[in-house]
Structure 1
Amino acid sequence: MNYRQGVFTLAKCEQLAETTYSFVITCHEIASLAKAGQFAHLRVPGFSLRRPISICEVLPQEGAIRVVFDIRGEGTKALATLKSGDSIDIMAPLGNGFSLLEPDKKAIVIGGGIGVPPLLEIAKHYGENSRAVLGFRSKTAVILQNDFASAGCGVHLCTDDGSMGRKGFVTAILKEQLDAEKPDILYACGPRPMLKAVAALAKEYGVRCQLSLEERMACGVGACLGCACKTRKDGKETYSHVCKNGPVFEAEEVVFDE
């Protein structure tokens, strides 16, 4: 695993939604290594465990990465108080990212809530050959739709309460998109029930699909067993570390317990 650890500078801090924040961190060497789907482990002063946060964008020309996170507890609440110019201790890039095909291939990305940010770098890669189906609780939680559109990606929004975009689940829109034009690959990140439904549609339509799993992580490098998940290798069930073996897996490798 090729990663770097160090103290770097927050170049830009921005609140994107009610409880969602964006950090641009200047870290030239990490930016030269990072790939779509990998994550960063951020140290929060006063807390023993680092916080794993997906890399939203890789900005090599700026020598920076962008991470987007939601306040989920006291650690991320403290993290959100940092300001531009502050220092932050990070380890990155960690984990195995998404496999990107040639940019002229067709791709659909499917994101749910805070699972949306790691998909932006994919949309930037495929540009006008990509479509995004993004789901959120309500309009107050919607993020990054303009960033996806700026990448040339066709954006389809839905919310649980219908306050923005279509009311309902991402899978309804995804099925319509698959009926209209079958892509070369699907990428998804979000809640486990959503990933299970996306994987089922990918199998039904015969489309390759990669899933980024969201699990609690402690060490971030595969030394502990905190993020073990059930997977299938060579026809046999086993356990994999989301932080080291993932977070990205082929959809058929992931075992979804009933």
Structure 2
Amino acid sequence: MNFCETAYASVIARIDAARQAAAAATAALVAVSKTQPAAAVRALAACGQRAFGENYVQEAIAKQAELADLPLEWHLIGPLQSNKCREAAQHFDWLQSLDRAMLVAPLARHRPPARAPLNVLVQVNIDDEASKSGCAPGDVAALAAAVAAEPRLRLRGLMAIPAPAPDPDQRRAAFRRMRALFDSLRAEHAGVDTLSMGMSDDLELAIAEGATMVRVGTALFGPRDRDPG
């Protein structure tokens, strides 16, 4: 197997082992393809991966055009600027990074009627980091309600990027706080089913604490100056 095939098999094995250990029904994989060329996405798609995460709208649109022959699912995982709502609503299947109410109406307005509603995750700044996007935990309920009120949007759950910490217990605590928020949200809104948290170095910990979706880049593609295929 080449690097791409080996890396993909390794990540899938890690997810499956973590899911079984946690008795979790599902733990979906989003391959973080930001800064990766379309060829790298195509190579990973050949291994069976379908969901890909991008940080930048324009970079993703160009990549999508090159890969239009493939049945891929595109997730916007980076901060969304208000002037990019139209393109985000038109070109993505999921928005994982909704962090403020002012984006809700334009996203709904620009979602093409011919497409399914845009799947939306509310991003939470769970560790209150000044450098991170995301709403405060106390604002989740109101922002989620705004999404749920729009027929062209579909509230699916929450996303977070906890602060990096060498102590696993610190990350575990953040994941547990996210799980508590997720459980509260799920009790209020039918259809909430996705808790996106965990990356290359902590996906097992995230799944153990309730993640239903993990976002993995480095473990799949390797260092960004390496040919991942």
Q: TM-score, normalised by structure 1?
A: 0.33
Higher relative contact order (CA 8 A, sep 6+): 2
Q: TM-score, normalised by structure 2?
A: 0.36
Q: Specify which structure has the higher proportion of helix.
A: 2
